[in-house]
Structures are given as C-alpha cells and as structure tokens.
Amino acid sequence: MQVPRCSTLLLKLFLLQGLLLITDKWCVSGFSAGNRAPPAVRSCSKTGNSKNKVRKQTARRKAEQGINRKLQADADFFWQCVSKRDRGIDIAGVSGKKWHRPSRAELFGEVRKDDSSRGKLNATITTTTDEGKVTRSGGAMEIPVMDNDFGGNAEYDALPGFVLQNLLGADRMRYTAPSPIQKHCVPLGLVGCDILASAQTGSGKTVGFLLPLIASVAKNRQSESKVDKTTHTGHSKQKKTPSSPAALILAPTRELALQIDLEIDKLTFGAPPPIPSSASKATAARWSACCYGGATARPQLEALASGVEILVATPGRLADFLDRDLVSLSNCKFLVLDEADRMLDMGFEPQLRKIVEQSDMPARTDGRQTLLFSATFPKALRVIAEKSYLRPNFARVAVGKVGASNKSVEQRIVKIEGDGTKRDKLNVLIEILREQGGNIKQQKPTIVFTNKKHVANWIAKQLTQKSVRCSQIHGDRTQGQRESALQKFRDRKVDVLVATDAVSRGIDIDNVAHVIQFDMPFGVKEFESYTHRIGRTGRAGKTGIATAFYVPGYQAKVGNAELWSLIKGSFDESGMELPEWFYQENQNQGNNNGVRQGRQGAPPKRRPHSRSTSTAPMYDQSRGRTVRSQSVINASGLKNKPRSRDRGRESSNVTPSVNKADEELKSILDEFLAKK
C-alpha cells in the first residue's frame, strides 16, 4: 500500500521537530551533567567567550587610561599653580572657579538696626548643661577652666585678638559665654594636651577644637616669620614644594567638612593672611582649604597650591592627594578627628591608617597634638583611639552622659499601623506636616531622615506633588546638588529637607524646628544615628521636636522591636514620657518567650514533614513568613536545592528552546507551502 505524499511529508516534519527538541534539551542539560558538546559547538562557544573577554578587557583598559590621563592633568595643573605662586603671581581663580575672601555680611549676615542686644543673631551659645555633670580625667588636671569671657589665664596663652573680636563682636558671631565643653577643652588644647572629648549634639564642639587650633597655628607662624626675616633671601630654591599645612581636620562627610571650613572663615575673618615660609611672596595664601570627594579637584588643588595653614578634608580625597604626592603632612603638628567614632569605624580605619601612620605626618611621640571629638564613643572605639592616636597622658572630657540625647529636644514616637510600608509612613508624615503648619504648603523648618536613597527620592517627589517646598540630600545626588539643597534649606527657600544620614552628623542649621525619623536605624549597632539625627534640632540652647516612626515586629529592615530598650533608654535619659502602646508592645514581645516575632506576631508554627524530595519548611525572617524549598533533580541525577529567587529558572530555560524549535518548524512549513 502506497503512503500518500502528504503523510510522508508530515512524518518527516514530526521527526525533524523531535530531533530539534532532543538536541535543545541535550544542550541545556547535557553541559551541566558533564557531557561534551560537539566540536563545532565547543569551538563556537569558545570563540564567543574569548571575544567577549577581550572586549571587556579593552573597555576596562581604555577606562583606566582615561582616568590616569585626567589624574595626570590635574597633577600638572597643581604644579603649574605652585610654580606661579613661587614667582609671586596671584593664582586665585585660575581653576575657572572664582574665589574671593568672604565679606562680613556673607559670613555673619545682615545686622538689623533695631537689634542692639546680643543673642539674637547667628550662633549664640548659651550654657544649658549643668556644670556638675562635666567629667574630666587623665592628664593636665591642674589646668583651670576658661573664664566666661574667653579670657586667658596664667597657666595657658590667651586667644589671638582677631579670634576674640570675631567671637564676641556685636556684628560677628555674638557669643556671650563659652559652653561647658569649650570651658574645659580650649585651655587643654592651648597647653598642647591631647584630648578625647564627648558632649551632646549642639554643645559647641566645633568651636571647642577650632579655638586652640587657630591659636596654635598663629603662634607658630609668628615665630617662624621672625626666623624667616633673618635667614630668608629671595625665592626658595625648591621650585616645586607640595602644600604642607600646619593643621589637619578630618571629617566623615562632605557637608560637615564644608561647615567646619565655614567656621574657620568666621573665626579668621579680618586676620592677616598666613605667609608660608617656603613662599614668602605668595599673594594668594589662605588660612584654610577644604578637600572632599564628589567634586572636581582643580579648585581644591588651586587652594592647596596657594598655601594653606589648616586643611579640612574627608579621608578618601586626602588619601588620593597623598598617594600622588600633591600634599605633604610633614609640617602637620595638629590633628583633629571630628565625629571621631565614625572616623574610627571599620569603613574609615584603612584610610586613616594611610593618612596618620603611613604618610609623612609626625608621629604622636614626635610632638603631634591630637584632638578627638564626638557625641558618642563606643568602648571599642575608645580603646582604638587610646592605643593608636592619643599620647599616654591625654585628657578626657565628657559633658553629660556619652551618647545621650539633647534634653532641650522634645522626643515623640508614633506607631505605624498596617504593614509598615513607606506608603503607610507617608500618610502619617503628611498628617504631621499638616498639623504643625496649619497649611501643608507653609511649614516650619523640618528635616525628614530615611535609611535609603531611593526612599528619600520618593518622599521628595510625593511631598512636591502635595505642594510642599522640599529638597533632598543623599548619596545619589551630585555634590553641587547637595550643596544647593542645603543652602536652600538654610535660606528658607524650602521648608522640608529629606535626607539620609549624610547630614545627621555635625551639620549646624539654625532654627530647625522639627526632625522626623521616617525610618528608624536598621539595628542596634546603628542606633547612635538616632542620637545624631535628634541633634539637628534644639542646638545652641534652643528647643525643638524630634518624632520617630515605630513599626512593631522584628522583620529585617522594617520592624523596630529590636530597638525597644534603646528607645526607652533615650526617652528616660531625657525625662520624656512614652505612650502606653509602647509598653504594651514590650509585653507582647515578652509573651513569645524571647522568640523573634514576625511583623505583627510570632512566627508561624513549623509543620511536620515527611522524608521526601521537599525540604523542611523554614521561617524566612527577611519575608516574615514560612517558605518551602523544593528539590530539583538535575541531569546528573543529583538533588539541587535552589534559592527562592532561582525557583522556576530550569523551566524558564527549557521553554525558550521549545519555542525556538516551533519557530524553525513553522519556517520550514512556510517555505514548503511557498514552493507548492
């Protein structure tokens, strides 16, 4: 019996489809089982991989060459500035960014005609901390505290005249009396003692270490200038001398470094510019320069080449300049670590070791004076500081309890109902803003803190849609955008500043009325951020409000039950009352016999399971629920237990192959029909 021609064709097509399916399936699973592909397949795969590898290496090499060319161009620019400075040429503005000495109005603001009394403008410091709570130990116990008028004493040198004029002047910083941390640390710094100091946020720590630093630099410069007048003739024979500051201040964030540099400009306003001994005829010498990452390096290199006495820097940018021999620390006799607890953390310790121990900076035993300031000092970091940075006879000053919150700030805590999502928190935030301003479009100066950059961006967009004037600061913003946002908030062009912990430390913004912690710190180790965030309000003796959003439960990066005892301790230290629901949350947690809860209760009970290919059900803390991982039999006959995010990949890998075979079969049929 003769088979019809169409049936033969269909049979061939079915056989071809089966062959394609077997081939694709073998290609997917056969390689993983150790089977060798045909030589043609192996050769094609090897050729493709080698081409991709070469292409990536070429792109990486070109990128490195571009970076090296840029770095070399910046270094050449620096040495050209040094050469011009040595010839007596003013190099201010050669980087393309105009520079001028700030005016009195730019630094201290305008003075109103009806403002005749002190204490109404800018950074007025009032003594709000009980003097009996100041703890002092270690060396130099015989040095008395400073007078209420910042006057000198027989045991230590007085402050320079221009510093006192800027500090106490009616049209300047308008200080009335030193704060407790300043009363103790300034005299100790003036006698050359190493200091480990801790005080509450907003207590005047920045001025506490700047006063002895500027006094020491001015005194040493006067003595060196007398020697230079008798020994120096003409220009220095060394044409290219790296910038060699007399004092170094390290800060963990760019914003804090810029703020410290601004305080130096205020304290040195009207002072004669320092003249480095290596270039006595330089015309662009400055008191200070600020170096930080995230911004173009040339304006910073211009400032360094002009000759500076005080260098304020973040560790990353300074380590880069040291590696390229653009900065020398051989003359640095004064080292300050602001927010030292974070500076000594694991994230900064390698860079600090490179700067302090592996550069040409004088060792602590060679006359270098070191000051460490912060609001919090964990015990482990105190041990590191005493072992590696401070001399044995250092003085320790603690104002109040280390790590305690400012008592002038009213702390509040709000329970977030529901699942604790950002949408749930946003509804509460908008309600708070509406209540405090009466009109959501007109707000008191408020800072909203989050843990994640994308959440900060989302909050800013949502508030903008509600007609709230706001700006944002986080790591995804350029340095120019961050500086602009901070300046707009200072100038009251925006009412709400949404930020991550980039501005939680040391940033001094006048008249911040409210700090809202949209996200609490991630865990116990990061809880010190809670204290630093609160410190952005209630500064300089003023009052403020700090509100924290609390999410019950232990879910990772969502629930805050792990912080319950720390929050209670912060409220108790400040004398604040906690709501009843907060204590009820602790009782609910205690009823579970110490077992960590899910978002709203105890973890689900584990079900009994039999010995089969499925694994035991496990409680996934990151999801707050129970998951069951299924075993998968691979081509070699072994069981694989894929991660939850990998489930279903095997089937998804096979499906494209089947679709590919169908497409090829369809193309064959189309070609056959076209011929017919």
**pLDDT digit string (tens) for 324-378?**
999 999 999 999 999 888 777 667 888 888 999 888 999 998 889 999 998 777 7
Report the sign of the C-alpha dihedral through residues 446, 451, 457, 459, in that order. negative
First to last CA, the chain: 25
Q: What is the mean pLDDT of residues 602-623?
A: 42
Q: How confident is the model at residue 73 (pLDDT cuts 50, 70, 90)?
A: very high
Which tokens hold the place of 321?
């300049």
pLDDT in the model for residue 618: 44
pLDDT in the model for residue 91: 86
Q: What is the mean pLDDT of residues 473-488?
A: 87
Report the sign of the C-alpha dihedral through residues 153, 156, 161, 163, in that order. negative
Pairwise pLDDT comparison (200 vs 2), residue with the higher score: 200
From 628, 630, 602, select the one nearest 617 (Cα to Cα).
628
pLDDT in the model for residue 48: 67
Of 12-21, 56-65, 283-292, 554-563, the least confident: 12-21
For residue 219, CA distances in Å to 75, 157, 223, 268, 274 come to 32, 10, 6, 14, 11
Specify the residue for token string 């081409």.
51
Contact 491, 469 (CB under 8 A): no
* Distant-in-sequence, close-in-space partners of 102: CB < 8 Å, separation ≥ 6: 265, 269
Q: How confident is the model at residue 280 (pLDDT cuts 50, 70, 90)?
A: very low
Contact 286, 306 (CB under 8 A): yes
**What are 310's strand-pairing partners?**
247, 288
Longest dimension (CA), the chain: 127
Of 238-247, 297-306, 484-493, 619-628, the least confident: 619-628
Question: How do 618-620 and 625-627 pair as beta strands?
Answer: antiparallel
SS3 of residue 615 by DSSP: coil
pLDDT in the model for residue 401: 65
Look at the pTM and tell me if it is higher than 0.85.
no
pLDDT in the model for residue 10: 67
Q: How confident is the model at residue 38 (pLDDT cuts 50, 70, 90)?
A: low
CA dihedral 383, 386, 387, 391 (to 10 degrees): -170
Q: Which CATH architecture has domain 192-228+240-276+284-399?
A: 3-Layer(aba) Sandwich (3.40)
- Would you say residue 290 has pLDDT above 60? yes
Q: What is the mean pLDDT of residues 152-158?
A: 70
**DSSP code per residue over 77-124:** HHHHHHHHHHTT---TTTTSS---PPPHHHHH-PPPTT--SSSSSS--
Which tokens hold the place of 2?
């003769």
From 97, 534, 486, select the one nearest 254 (Cα to Cα).
486
Contact 496, 443 (CB under 8 A): yes
Q: Which CATH number, 3.40.50.300, 3.90.550.10, 1.10.10.60, 3.40.50.880, labels domain 409-590?
A: 3.40.50.300
Rounded to 5°, the CA angle 354-355-358 comes to 50
Of 27-36, 211-220, 562-571, the least confident: 27-36
* Distant-in-sequence, close-in-space partners of 610: CB < 8 Å, separation ≥ 6: none
Separation CA 307–CA 274 (nearest Å): 8
Contact 25, 654 (CB under 8 A): yes
- Would you say residue 134 has pLDDT above 90? no
Q: What is the number of H-type helices and E-type strands within the chain?
A: 19, 18
Separation CA 609–CA 618 (nearest Å): 11
Separation CA 149–CA 136 (nearest Å): 21
Which tokens hold the place of 662?
């169908």
Distance from the Cα of residue 111 to its chain's centroid: 35
559 by Cβ neighbours in 10 Å (0-12 / 13-18 / 19+) ranks as: buried
- Would you say residue 494 has pLDDT above 70? yes
Question: How do 334-338 and 369-374 pair as beta strands?
Answer: parallel
